[in-house]
Structure 1
Amino acid sequence: MIGLLDTATYAYSYGMVSAMPQHLDDITYARLTGSLNLDSAIAELMKTHYEKQIKGAISKGENLEEIEKAVVSHYFEVCNAVINTFPTDVRNSSKTILLDEFDIGNLKRVLRALKSKSVSRNGKNTDEILAECIEGNIKDEILKEIANTEFKSAVDKIRNLGFEIEGENLFDIENSLDINLIRKWAIAAEKVKVIEKFVKKRIDALNLKAVIRMKILGIDADNFIKKTSQGAYLNFEILNEINAAQISKDNLDAIHGILTGTPYENLFAQVFEEFKRTKSLDMFELGIESAAASPAVILNPISLEYVITYLRKMWFDVRNMRVLLVGKKYGVNNEEIKKMMIL
């Protein structure tokens, strides 16, 4: 009965996203990354369903920031339109969950930039740092206040926002921010059960990335596991098994066996194979993000989970466009641009 009620409740939302343009496909991405320069990349984007947004931005002058702003703004317009079709309690939780992740990403960007500046003294200025941030729940003026200080003061300001931060080094602080996000999502899932599946699979991805990152860097993940929350399929037993396994940057083979019996057994197989080739932890984490957003683990397409996954994958397209345009502007080669995308 609950399944039938869910289907009836979200049938309109499902119909809405089904009628929307689908995500950029591999052929389109191949054309975009194969563009000779920024102008040709913009010309290729004009052939996609983002034509209206690109044209509108260009009409204000060929400014890369205007194009980025236009596609990001379009994403939020679509998000709000779709989420506003949800029941009120689910609507508020969905917005919070989607935007909370941007907040954590923004705080990490600010802290990394400030840490880099404290080491080299030649880092980005406040405006440059904020230009890389995405609209979230934390207001722009608060982010600016955090970015317009030095590293230790920024950490204190983040604590004053209600985040529980442990440790003094950047690695521990970023792990603390992840734990804050996971706990907040877990609470939201308890309050609004219909969003639980989506949230818990997102928690799985965050937990897996964090534990493997620590293992590769030679850090015991025991403290992280004790403080985090369980996701949909990766319980504490599995996380502890990964932490106890013989894993290194040169050998992640044990993880595949540990994931046997979960939906991730085959879903992440290609990600692990790619890591063997690149040895890039950043690319590995992007791969986990992309695979975790796959519709392959959604049992009921006419559901809230499917609709939110559509919005999340739409964000990947927006993010990839930003990576593409910045890469083309600065002459980054095609292979490096592809590595920075979530495909």
Structure 2
Amino acid sequence: MAEPRDHGGGLDAAIARWGGARADWLDLSTGINPVPYPLPPLAPDAWTALPDRAAMGRLLDAARAFWRVPETARIVAAPGASALIAALPGILPDAPVHIPAPTYNEHRAAFAAHGARFGDATAPIQVRVHPNNPDGRWLAARPDARIAIIDESFCDVAPDRSLIAHTAQPGTIVLKSFGKFWGLAGLRLGFAIGHGATLSALSDRIGPWAVSGPALEVGAAALGDTAWAERTRTRLAHDAERLDRIVTGAGLTPMGGTTLFRLYACPTAAAWHECLARHRILSRVFPYDATWLRLGLPRPDAFDRVRAAFAKP
């Protein structure tokens, strides 16, 4: 059995270690929008009928409009971006892949599970997270590779920086996560966008009825609500600055992130992680750098809890 990989979340483990009930905890270990998209009313058959083509069509049309997907690009919807990350290595050529670290570790794990060979920055397959997780670095341009996989799971906070225009031609695959920006990670919805020639085998890998009826309806409604998206970007930017002021006031140094999560440097990151946990706040530390502490955004009504925790270590 494979060893579990390092991720945010894991509130059950935190409770087992530090105590309390789930309702006591503020989970800031992920980068999920804490103010989710309001769920629309669902048709009864969204729960009882197999998802139909019309519902999928509405979702894909909304996705195409929201992300301004080129006409020549195809969109494949799946039960979360993680399902697409796991499936993609199986449809790509047998060639070396380069995944610069540190980054989201599921990409390397997926290629390793398919027996991939890993190469350097000249490898024909390149994987980038844009903006990168956990440091928020943005790509300046599409990687110079035969095939570029660009994970834009956190890019909806800054849509003007998307590299989706490159999907008009073969060789570029852009991944989109619905759960993070819209705050509905439990819905399990993600998208792969690329030229038809590049994604031709992906739908077969994912299988029929991959996206649930409720996810089809909620996703189509949310992607069509551009006013909510604009308001959310403004609020996230304001709240990210608010969090930075609290944390820097305690002596930590901002070093990156996005408006969905912030990364701070501190020689005592593990001690802060423990301190926050005693206040029932779950943060994120990293096995490869003991000076990094990452925090997702609190709910607007939870900032006082965070301020109090940093004021009384």
TM-score of the two chains, using structure 1 as the length reference: 0.28
Q: By percentage of residues, which structure has more strand?
A: 2
Higher helix proportion (structure 1 or 2): 1
Q: Normalised by the size of structure 2, how large is the TM-score?
A: 0.30
